[in-house]
Amino acid sequence: MSKKKNLLLSSIMCSLILGVSAVPVSAETIETFNLDEMVVESSRNHKTPLPGGFNNDSSRVGLLGETEVIKAPFTVQSITEDTVSKMAMPNQDLDTVLSNVPAIRTGTSPIKTDFSIRGVCTNAASYYVNNIPGFFIMATGPITHTVGSIDALIGPASTINGSTPSYQAGPLTGATPGAIYLNTKRAGENDFIKYTQTFAGHGDYGEYLDISQRFGKDRNIGVRIYGQYDDGGLAISGAGQRKKNLFANISYEGETTKTNVFGGYYDQKLMGTERRFLLTGDPTKIPDAPDASKSFDDPSLMHQDTNGYMLTFNHQKKLGEHVNWFVNAGANQSVMRRYIYDGEIDILDDGSIASDTAVWSDFIHIRNQYLQTGLKGDFMTGMAKHNYAVSVDRSHRKMYKRGVDAINPATGKPSGTFKPGSSIYDGIILNPWVYQGDISSTLTKNLQHEETDVSLNFMDKVEVGKLTLLAAASHRHGDYVRGTTKNQQKNNVKDNNWATTFGLSYAPTDDLSIYAAKANSRNRGTAVVASGKKNYENDGEILPSVRNSNAEVGVKYKANDNLMMTLAYFDMKQPQTMDVKDAAGKLWLTNNGLNRYKGVDFSLNASFADKWNAFGGFEWLDARQEKTANGKYDGCHVMGSAEWSSVWGLEYKPDEDTSFTGRLSYVGVGKYVKGNKEELDIPSHVTLDLFASHKASINGVPVKFIAACYNVANDSHWIAQAGQNNKFMLNNPRSFMLSAEFEF
């Protein structure tokens, strides 16, 4: 689809939605609650939905706790629990609902969690579970059916929660492009026992148990237990999964105390799910995407097995009328054994498989611990009301990783995975020796890194009439240890630095705000270590940390309780390492490289009639490499970036028990960047998803039916992966999901 057609489509959708947005909504359909700000969400937390009901009007904003979306001085989107339940397949990843956020581009294989925020690559390390960071990595993501609402913070809001470990943000940049807060399901006002059966893909069956009960004199103790057993084939031919888990959430809410505990164990296996490709050689074109329904590994051979536990604890104690003490703590362990491709499948521009594609056995073992405690409250100075938070936190991660390439006995090298003539169009044939290469079950622990970060955090939100000022600062001390060998220990880095965030919001009325925010942050420095053919003159030096700058200005408007819009302009400068040769031709590693991301986000939520709701928005992005090694890529797009993207959703509710929703997603032309500054176009694509839900009663038993169809047109296309060195994904084929939830 051309840029002109994309603009025309966006204009038509905006006109249809905005043109009828002034129609009032029946007062009987709107339910409102009052919610105090707090660090720990109430166990009986009721958020008021925005017009349309897809998103909430308040969101967790770091140490600020619950804050009205319209008053937050940056882009915030809080996805409701109802939206998550209808759009996120419980046996799949959260990508299926995160794609509702215009600033987020999703699309990855079932064994990866990569996505991008405003063109900056990130992964599940950006997720927080009940305010606790560090539970996930690129290869492991959240357990979907444990998630209630999702709060997405975009832009200069990622530095206001406390320390930012380098595994979460990248060692150089010091900040993520955003933070995704996952709020686990908690006991509600009514007791219930729910049993759900699902069917999806090619013979994938799932069973789910969800029990919610309240106890105590005032029913102030809530217990919610939920479990999953899922087994079967995915829509990808031959691919499959097996998932087993059991979790519990226990909450207490007293007059002066609020406590929440969440924990559980999971065990899952994925087979035949690789979808990532790398175009190698000197390509002159982007090859056509192959049939998305095909598997590109052997489901009986390639696998990823993961098991582990996670535990979170949130506590708040009222010490006085204007001060609260809080604790956020968590721990997890994840163990993964897998036999997959070593990185991705390498292909040439005619679709043939490159000879250097390799497979390997891999073992990953991760342990995380996190503790944050502090005080939060308010006080007055003249006409100004201060909402403050002071905290100290400590995060610790120990990661063991060992990978071994499968060796071709004919050559003594890891290449030769495929037989000659294999291609993504005509079929792939693995060489027989690959079937004896899996030694993942015998691999033992090998320390990859250990990181400890301690930070002292300050925040003050000052309200003076219609003006709100936000100031936050975090002083971080980091201790990063890389492995145990002498060469690995050259990467050991200690650091002390500050991260600051400033925001300003002016609200002339309760329905309009104009805001600006800027965050500057640093992380650990970079160790210079020679590797392969690169012998740096400054080998052994520790490059200092550099500043990441993230700025945003915008306007938010809410009209007649049936329309909410946000328009934002952003500008982010992301430092990069780069190789530089001096006059004598000697090679040095520096951190003077720079990528820059500028653009515009627009989003809306609308309820323009009793039976019609809508959500959506678009993003225009100009992502450029401004400073690269010897100017090789100066002025080029960031690899994998796309200038235009948009998402639009329309819901029809003929009655309170039935809804039909369509979601149209568009991603514009992506960029593959060649060494001579030539760029190849990764074609744009449009995806249509359909959802339906209906509540009924069978012999007096309430039943909720949900049906979903992803990629209705069964289109096959490449998905550009922003910031991943010219890698791209093959999309998933058309997939159906049916579920029936029985409540007792």
> In this model, does residue 124 exceed pLDDT 70?
yes
Mean pLDDT of 201-217: 92
What element of type H or E holds 9? Answer: helix 3-19
Any residues with CB less than 8 A from the CB of 61 and at least 6 apart, and which? 67, 72, 76, 151, 153, 157, 160
CA distance 374 to 76: 24
Is 716:275 a contact under the CB 8 Å cutoff? no
Instruction: Count CB atoms within 10 A of the CB of residue 550.
Output: 30
CA distance 501 to 518: 6
Mean pLDDT of 613-633: 94
Task: List the beta bridge partners of residue 600.
Answer: 569, 620
> In this model, does residue 85 exceed pLDDT 80?
yes
Instruction: Tell me which long-range contacts 420-425 makes (C-beta under 8 A, separation of at least 24).
Output: 421/352, 422/352, 422/353, 423/350, 423/351, 423/352, 423/353, 424/277, 424/287, 424/290, 424/296, 424/345, 424/347, 424/351, 424/352, 424/353, 425/290, 425/351
pLDDT tens profile 396-426: 999 999 999 999 999 999 999 999 889 999 8
Q: What sign does the CA torsion over 185, 189, 193, 198 have?
A: negative
342: closest CA among 268, 241, 274?
Answer: 274
CA distance 475 to 461: 18
Q: How confident is the model at residue 11 (pLDDT cuts 50, 70, 90)?
A: very low
- pLDDT (0 to 100) of residue 170: 64
- The pTM is what? 0.90
CA distance 408 to 108: 29
CA distance 210 to 145: 10
CA angle 212, 214, 220 (to 5 degrees): 135
> In this model, does residue 179 exceed pLDDT 90?
no
- pLDDT (0 to 100) of residue 112: 86
Q: 277-313 in b/e burial notation, b at 16+ Cβ within 10 A?
A: bbbbeebeebbebbebbbbbbbbebbbbbbbbebbbb
Dihedral, 27, 606, 613, 178 alpha carbons, nearest 10:
-120
> In this model, does residue 78 exceed pLDDT 90?
yes
pLDDT tens profile 22-77: 333 333 333 333 333 434 443 455 678 999 999 999 988 888 788 899 989 999 99
CA distance 275 to 73: 38
- pLDDT (0 to 100) of residue 173: 58
Mean pLDDT of 119-137: 90
Is 111:304 a contact under the CB 8 Å cutoff? yes
What percent of the chain stands above pLDDT 90?
Answer: 66
> In this model, does residue 505 exceed pLDDT 90?
yes
Q: How confident is the model at residue 316 (pLDDT cuts 50, 70, 90)?
A: very high
What element of type H or E holds 493? Answer: strand 493-509
Q: Which two tokens stand for residue 62?
A: 């770091």
88: closest CA among 178, 180, 154, 150?
Answer: 150
- pLDDT (0 to 100) of residue 317: 97
pLDDT tens profile 329-383: 999 999 999 999 998 899 999 999 998 899 999 999 999 999 999 999 999 999 9
Helix/strand/coil (H, E, C) string of 617-630? EEEEEEEEEEECHH
Q: How confident is the model at residue 195 (pLDDT cuts 50, 70, 90)?
A: very high
- pLDDT (0 to 100) of residue 495: 85
> In this model, does residue 664 exceed pLDDT 90?
yes
Q: How confident is the model at residue 13 (pLDDT cuts 50, 70, 90)?
A: very low
- pLDDT (0 to 100) of residue 25: 36
> In this model, does residue 15 exceed pLDDT 60?
no
> In this model, does residue 249 exceed pLDDT 60?
yes
CA distance 233 to 735: 11
Q: How confident is the model at residue 2 (pLDDT cuts 50, 70, 90)?
A: very low
- Please provide the average confidence, as pLDDT, over all residues in the chain: 88
Mean pLDDT of 662-676: 93
CA angle 586, 587, 588 (to 5 degrees): 125
> In this model, does residue 265 exceed pLDDT 90?
yes
Q: How confident is the model at residue 203 (pLDDT cuts 50, 70, 90)?
A: confident
- The secondary structure of residue 586, as a DSSP letter, is -
- pLDDT (0 to 100) of residue 605: 96
- pLDDT (0 to 100) of residue 528: 85
What element of type H or E holds 12? Answer: helix 3-19
φ/ψ bin of 462: left (φ > 0), alpha (ψ from -120 to 50), beta (otherwise) = beta
Instruction: Count CB atoms within 10 A of the CB of residue 584.
Output: 6
Distances (CA, A) of 409 to 415, 416, 429, 432, 445: 10, 10, 17, 11, 26
- pLDDT (0 to 100) of residue 90: 75
Owner of token pair 């163990």: 335
- pLDDT (0 to 100) of residue 46: 60
482: closest CA among 394, 406, 542, 535?
Answer: 542
- pLDDT (0 to 100) of residue 629: 87
- pLDDT (0 to 100) of residue 174: 57
CA distance 599 to 116: 14
Task: List the beta bridge partners of residue 13.
Answer: none
Q: Which two tokens stand for residue 51?
A: 């017009």
Mean pLDDT of 636-647: 94
pLDDT tens profile 510-566: 899 999 999 988 778 888 887 767 888 888 888 888 888 899 999 999 988 899 999
Q: Which two tokens stand for residue 85?
A: 């339940």
- pLDDT (0 to 100) of residue 175: 62
Helix/strand/coil (H, E, C) string of 239-303? CEEEEEEEEEEEEEECCCEEEEEEEEEEEEEEECCCCEEEECCCCCCCCCCCCCCCCCCCCCCCE
